[in-house]
Chains A and B, each alone.
Chain A
Amino acid sequence: MTRRSVLMGAAVAALLAAAPALAASPDLPRKTVDLVAPPFVHPHQQATREGPAIVAFKMVIEEKEVVIDEAGTKFRAMTFNGTMPGPMMVVHEGDYVELTLVNPDTNTMPHNIDFHAATGALGGGALTHVNPGEQVVLRFKATRTGAFVYHCAPEGMIPWHVVSGMSGTLMVLPRNGLKDRDGKPLRYDRIYYVGENDLYVPRDETGKYKTYESLAESYSDTTEVMRKLIPTHVVFNGKVGALTGANAMTAKVGETVMIVHSQANRDTRPHLIGGHGDYVWETGKFANPPEKNLETWFVRGGSAGAALYTFLQPGIYAYVNHNLIEAVELGATAHFKVEGTWNDDLMTQVSPPGPITPGKVGAAGTSVVK
């Protein structure tokens, strides 16, 4: 079992005596938001007439063993709020994000958080270092719009914490909502948040994945695998197949879906097989006009991209990292189940598979014009 290396000092009295001096708050309304597990996103307004607010979130860091593939491979994960990726937070430009970050004493490791959306203090990393048994509250102003990665960044051990699961996304929406390049409002009916993780699981001499009693014991083997830069797993939502089958994402024909895709460590290239990106903020930042009609978009390691797509056909869609080896062999595949009526005009099977007819191309009975 994990070694509990934290002892609480003198009990309640000391804690009370040590209650930290609280920084003054801006005189703004406060909202508290309960986070939900990915690929879902907490309820939020896409555009708002209200003025800026302080939006309070709480995340509890959880170190735990998880299963990352169908073969039952066990992995020593570090997580924000128990999920890989950590939950997505949504605020509007000008709001203040106020995060309470809790590192319970059941954990073994110090952690912190670096918000790519925040300004100064290494994204908040320098002000949020919490030992097991501690919590910290950070507030920062969301001054730039876009989908931004957040991740754990303890000095010296950043990559290990990130590829062990400690990353997530904060989305800062323009107060008046998303726009296309001509200023026309864009809206979505559903939003999904796909966090991609590259995982580096050590193997024994026979090639079998190794398991460890604790994070600490997994450290040196794992860093050795990491240094070779070849992941053993590339997964969406923490596990091979986490977003397929019974957990496939759903939509209806005619619905516009926002897909936010984050990768805190490594480049990726989302692609919706059989669909497109109608409007894509490839770099994820809404002050830049969205690109239109993309087939594949590039999400740089350490960033989040956002894509809008209106489903036009029912059926099953695969949403993949279009390095297909990573999609098929390493796990980076999700599915959409889309209900609705088939549009024959967009696509039809003119002639089903059958014997090869020499000299014929196209619909049966139609001669080729020479």
Chain B
Amino acid sequence: MLIASGLKIAVAALVAGPLAVGGVALLTPIAPPPLPHAVVTLAPGAFAYRLAGDFSTAGRPVAAPRRQLRQDRPLAIMTRQVTAAEYASCVEAGACPRIPQAVPTADRPVVGVSFRDALAYADWITRQTGVVHRLPTDAEWVFAAAEKASDEALPVVDAADPAKAWLARYETESARERPPIAPQPVGTFGANANGLVDLAGNVWEWTATCFERAELAPSGAVRPVTTNCGVRVVQGEHRTYMTDFIRDPRTGGCAAGVPPANLGFRLVVETALADRLRAALERTARRLLGPG
């Protein structure tokens, strides 16, 4: 299971030829699926993740625990967000709800989409390509976003003096820089180490993770108490929670303080290719590192 972190294989639609890491050819080329968007396949690896949701211990709110997680299979994820033109094609095909966005430009991300709209698009593009597309979980998003994911432990609300935390949260929210609201051309906000662009820009991304209230035992065990899948985790410059039918986060969000500027999404690709890659990587790792 030990695979050097940072091992990364680009599987863009147009990329072909032997894939190499450190000059050593690990894999024979595999015909990439005909996807209309670039995808990067991230090798499995460990990463730090602060659990999403509200946590309490013995009835008192506590900070969400930060855990070392392992992405134990390759993760194929779009390098960019779904564009306005792509979403418009889905609307034209009658498979996605119509949204108010003005011009369906090909070079800008779609904004003003709800979680439900994003699901409709994922289903449609899955049917179009024959390759399963879905929203990432929050943990997958954090894994893929790497250094662009913010780990923010918001101050815990103490029942004895809740106002302290509210004031602190407000300060944090108000201090955030606000990028221009209008969607920018793809790539405007730069790429992260994994080659994903526009993370933490002015378009927040829906994830599949539900809002959860959980009990954190002193042992560290987490016991879910309520899971509300009507509210999903939204990721970007910071993590927030949003009711699933909201399209405009400024009028409909459930985030405290300053809401996200826009709601968009990128998708994870579940491919047989990814499975084959994983198998190949594991074989290679075993060969390089030996058993155990």
CA–CA, A154 and B228, complex, Å:
15
Q: In this complex, what residue of B is CB-closest to A107?
A: B230
Q: Assess whether B229 is in contact with A9, with CB atoms less than 8 Å apart.
A: no
Q: Decide if A156 touches B226 in the complex (CB within 8 Å).
A: no
Max chain B Cβ within 10 angstroms of own Cβ: one of A3, A17, A156, A219: A156
| Cβ contact within 8 Å between A155 and B223 | no
Q: Contact: B228 with A127, CB < 8 Å?
A: no
Across the interface, B166 reaches (CB within 8 A) one of A109, A126, A154, A220, namely: A126
A133 to chain B, nearest CB (A): 5
Known: A14-B223, A126-B166. A21 touches B159 (CB 8 A): yes
Report if B288 contacts A (CB, 8 A). Answer: no
Asked if B226 and A155 make an inter-chain contact with CB atoms under 8 angstroms apart, the answer reads: no
Shortest CB-to-CB span from A212 to chain B, Å, is 11
The answer to whether A156 and B253 touch (CB under 8 A), given A20-B59, A216-B244, A219-B245, is yes
Please report the C-alpha to C-alpha distance between residue A157 and residue B224 in the assembled complex, in whole angstroms.
26
**A156/B251 in contact, CB under 8 A:** yes
CA distance A328 to B211 in the complex (A): 45
B residues 126-174 touching A (CB-CB < 8 Å): 159, 162-163, 166
What is the interface size of chain B, counting residues whose CB is below 8 A from a CB of the partner? 38
A321 within 8 A of B: no
Contacts of B254 on A, CB cut-off 8 Å?
Answer: 110, 154-157
Partner of B227, one of A6, A127, A155: A6
| A9-B226 in contact (CB<8A) | yes
Contact mask for chain B residues 249-292; partner A; CB cutoff 8 A; 1 contact, 0 none: 11111111001000000000000000000000000000000000
Bound-state Cα–Cα, A131 to B228, Å: 7
Whether A110 pairs with B226 at a CB distance below 8 angstroms is: no
Contact residues, B45-95 vs A (CB, 8 A) = 56, 58-60
B194 within 8 A of A: no
Give complex CA distance A18, B162 in Å: 20
In the complex where A18-B225, A21-B58, A156-B253 touch, is A126 in contact with B230 (Cβ < 8 A)? no
Q: Mark A78-120, 1 if CB is under 8 A from B, else 0.
A: 0000000000000000000000000000001110000000001
Interface status of B198 (Cβ within 8 A of chain A): no
Inter-chain contact A120/B163, CB cutoff 8 Å: yes
A186 at the interface (CB under 8 A from B): no
Name the B residues within 8 Å of A19 (CB-CB). 59
**B56, B60, B229, B249: which contacts A7 (Cβ < 8 A)?**
B229
Q: Tell me the bound Cα distance from A216 to B244 in angstroms.
A: 8
**Which among A17, A127, A134 is the interface contact of B226 at CB below 8 angstroms?**
A134
A46 touches B (CB below 8 Å)? no
The SS class assigned to the A binding surface is loop
A15 to B163, CA, bound (A): 27
Contact A9 B159 (CB under 8 A): no
A23 to B58, CA, bound (A): 13
Contact B226 A131 (CB under 8 A): yes
Contact mask A236-252 → B, CB, 8 Å, 1/0? 00000000000000000
What's the dominant secondary structure at chain B's contact region? mixed
Check B215 for interface membership: any CB of A closer than 8 A.
yes
B228 engages A132 (CB within 8 Å) = yes
Cβ-defined partner of A110 (8 Å) among B231, B246, B247, B259:
B231
CA distance A277 to B252 in the complex (A): 41
* B197 in the interface (beta carbon within 8 A): no
Q: Given the complex, which residues of A lie within 8 Å of B247, measured CB to CB? A: 220
A and B contact pairs by CB, cutoff 8 A, 28 listed: A6-B227, A8-B227, A9-B212, A9-B224, A14-B215, A14-B223, A14-B225, A18-B56, A18-B215, A18-B223, A23-B159, A109-B230, A120-B163, A126-B166, A131-B211, A131-B226, A131-B230, A133-B226, A155-B253, A155-B256, A156-B254, A157-B252, A157-B254, A216-B116, A216-B230, A216-B245, A219-B252, A220-B245
For the complex, is A10 an interface residue (Cβ under 8 Å from B)?
yes
Interface centre among B58, B213, B226, B229 (most CB of A within 10 A): B226
- B214 interface residue (CB < 8 Å to A): yes
Asked, given contacts A5-B228, A216-B244, whether A18 binds B59 with beta carbons under 8 Å apart, the answer is yes
- The residue in chain B whose Cβ has the minimal distance to the Cβ of A108 is B230
Q: Which residue of A lies closest to B212 (CB)?
A: A9
Residues of the A chain whose Cβ atoms lie less than 8 Å from the Cβ of B214:
9
Given contacts A121-B162, A156-B253, A216-B244, A10 and B224 within 8 Å (CB-CB): yes
> Which residues does chain B contribute within 8 Å of A20, judged by CB atoms?
56, 59
Q: Are B60 and A21 in contact (CB under 8 A)?
A: yes
Which residue on chain B has the smallest CB distance to residue A6? B228
A223 sits at the interface (CB 8 A): yes
Bound CA span A133–B210, Å: 14
Measured between alpha carbons, how far is A167 from B225 in the docked complex, in Å? 29
Nearest CB of A to B264, in Å: 17
| Contact of A223 with B251 at beta-carbon distance under 8 Å, contacts A5-B244, A9-B212, A10-B224 already known | yes
Nearest B-chain residue to A7, judged by Cβ: B227
Could you say which residues of chain A place their CB within 8 Å of the CB of B59?
A: 18-22
> CA separation between A131 and B217, bound complex, in Å?
22
> In the bound complex, how far is the Cα of B245 from the Cα of A219, in angstroms?
8
Known: A21-B58, A131-B231, A157-B252. 12 other contacts (CB 8 A): A5-B228, A5-B229, A6-B229, A7-B229, A21-B59, A108-B230, A110-B228, A131-B226, A131-B228, A132-B230, A133-B228, A154-B254
Q: Which residues of B contact A126 (CB under 8 A)?
A: 162, 166
Give, as a whole number of angstroms, the nearest-CB distance from A31 to chain B: 25
Q: Which single residue of chain B is at the shortest CB-CB distance from A218?
A: B245
Most buried by B among A23, A120, A155: A155
For the complex, is B243 an interface residue (Cβ under 8 Å from A)? yes
- CA–CA, A263 and B56, complex, Å: 37
A155 and B230 within 8 A (CB) = no
User: Assuming A155-B254, A216-B244, is B223 touching A17 (CB within 8 A)?
Assistant: yes
